[in-house]
Amino acid sequence: MQRYFIPPNGWQEKQVMITGDDRHHIARVMRMNAGDSIICSSPEGMSAECEIVEITEHQVTAHVQRWLEESNDLPVSVTIAQGLPKGDKMELVLQKGTELGASAFIPFQAARSIVKWDGKKAEKKQSRYRKIVKEASEQSHRSSIPEVHPLMSVKQLLAASEAYDVKIFAYEDEARSSNYQSLSGILSNAEAGQKIIACIGPEGGYTIEEVNAFKQHGFQTVRLGPRILRTETAPLYLLAGISYHFEELGC
Amino acid sequence: MQRYFIPPNGWQEKQVMITGDDRHHIARVMRMNAGDSIICSSPEGMSAECEIVEITEHQVTAHVQRWLEESNDLPVSVTIAQGLPKGDKMELVLQKGTELGASAFIPFQAARSIVKWDGKKAEKKQSRYRKIVKEASEQSHRSSIPEVHPLMSVKQLLAASEAYDVKIFAYEDEARSSNYQSLSGILSNAEAGQKIIACIGPEGGYTIEEVNAFKQHGFQTVRLGPRILRTETAPLYLLAGISYHFEELGC
């Protein structure tokens, strides 16, 4: 059943009003009619099976049939802080990272990020990124939409990291030595409900200043398997590993 | 250090001759010179640190300095059989799947694959796919290049699956019920050196006939976490989970 995330003003008692892109998707892309069923999710993470009662040029109206008891969010909250990568790789991280259960994303301007965002571009990008995670949440039947934070500097990222219980960063050079903390060791010490932040460097990796700053702020280096992963593959490995650990192995 | 996979005819005692795209990459893209070092890997999975001795318009010649003792292949061999997906998603599976340690890929024509390949297209695609896995192997410092099999029918795939020790398929409908085999259960019974084949359906999933045929041929259904993954994300979750299980948890 198709899922739609409906903003707060779309809910009225047992009635759901759907407008904009979602209305278009229901009416034109899915070509649904009155009587068809969809799942509507609220910003608070509640979901209901709803029956479409009317489709007009401006709005789809649906009635709540039953509330669903479901939660397929990871038992730990994982924020992916991604050093701005080249091209459209950030979009891949957002889409796949959402499917794999990330709670939030922080794009950050690393010293070796080749891409630079100015004010207007940052705004446009963020709006596009929010659309990507919304659609990926709907498609993967998540009960919540990950947050996409505005672009941060490394300094802002370090300040924001104070709110997290577990802080890790993927640092290839150290991971190739034997001087790394294993991901499984870190996850074994993490508890359900805790907040994890994982920082992934851009294509060129971190500068030594960044590495030292992360360490000074309590970040631990992790290895993500013995092979070298591209910047956009690293968060996907990390999220799949966390899912496997908590949701499949039941550690 | 940059890595290049050199075909058998490029090796002559302690001398390596590099031609074609790799020569271009060394001379023009990396702008290397005589005296620079590279890693050359043989088709058998042996790698050597080599010093460039000469760069001409047709060939780079390098001398083996020392053989490397390395293996970063997964302890189990994993073949990803992917029902032909839409657009360029197969390329994503090949590139990221190689980074994540797959041993081989089998594209197959599933009943619900929207894309169809004819003879000429299949040949062109396979040549492009081999290039993608070669480049991804070099980039992720793998000691071997995954094999890309020619396009198979489901019938051919089932016949080929006889050569594998562990046979799994990701089947969303069953995975959402409680009637699934957990990936961790399957991996806990797998031993180093065994061959695993994992079949991933196309966007529309499998037909019931395909599901029955897989089951009759000894395939087990697996769940890949509780969220619904896109067809191109499923193999990445699976490979990361296998890597985490064997290489990070050390199960």
Cα separation of A81 and B231, whole Å? 25
Based on its alpha-carbon atoms, the radius of gyration of chain A, rounded to whole angstroms, reads 20
H or E element, residue B196 = strand B195-200
Q: How many beta-carbon pairs below 8 A join chains A and B? A: 110
pLDDT of residue B176: 63
Q: What pLDDT does B71 receive?
A: 73
**Which candidate from A100, A230, A243 shows the least CB-CB separation from B99?**
A230
**B92, B236, B241 member nearest A248 (Cβ):** B241
Cβ–Cβ contact A89 with B under 8 A: no
Q: Following CA atoms A121, A125, A127, A132 in sequence, which dihedral angle do they give, to the nearest 10 degrees?
A: 170
> What domains can you pick out in chain A, each with its CATH number?
3-68 (2.40.240.20), 77-248 (3.40.1280.10)
Share of chain A above pLDDT 90, in %: 71
Residue B210 identity: E
Rounded to whole angstroms, the Cα distance separating A38 from B31 reads 57
- DSSP H/E element including A22: helix A20-24
Mean pLDDT of chain A: 91
pLDDT of residue A174: 66
pLDDT for res B122: 85
Q: How far apart are CA A136 and CA A65, in angstroms?
A: 24
Predicted confidence at residue A208, as pLDDT, reads 93
Contact at 8 Å (CB) between A175 and A230?
Answer: no
* pLDDT for the residue B251: 63
pLDDT in tens, chain A (251 residues): 888 989 989 999 889 999 999 999 999 989 999 999 999 988 777 889 999 999 999 999 999 999 887 778 899 999 999 999 999 999 999 999 999 999 999 999 999 999 888 888 888 999 999 999 999 999 998 888 999 999 999 999 999 999 999 999 998 776 666 666 788 989 999 988 999 999 999 998 999 999 999 999 999 999 898 888 999 999 999 999 999 999 988 76
- Please identify every stretch of chain B with a pLDDT value under 50, giving residue numbers as ranges: none
Residues A122-138 pLDDT 10s = 889 999 999 999 999 99
Res A196: pLDDT: 98
State how beta strands B152-153 and B181-182 pair.
Answer: unpaired
In this prediction, residue B250 carries a pLDDT of 73
Residue in chain B nearest A227 by alpha carbon: B140
Integer Cα distance of A182 and A190 in angstroms? 13
Report the complex ipTM: 0.82
B183 has a chain A CB within 8 A of its CB: yes
Give which of B96, B250, B243 is closest to A225, Cα–Cα.
Answer: B243
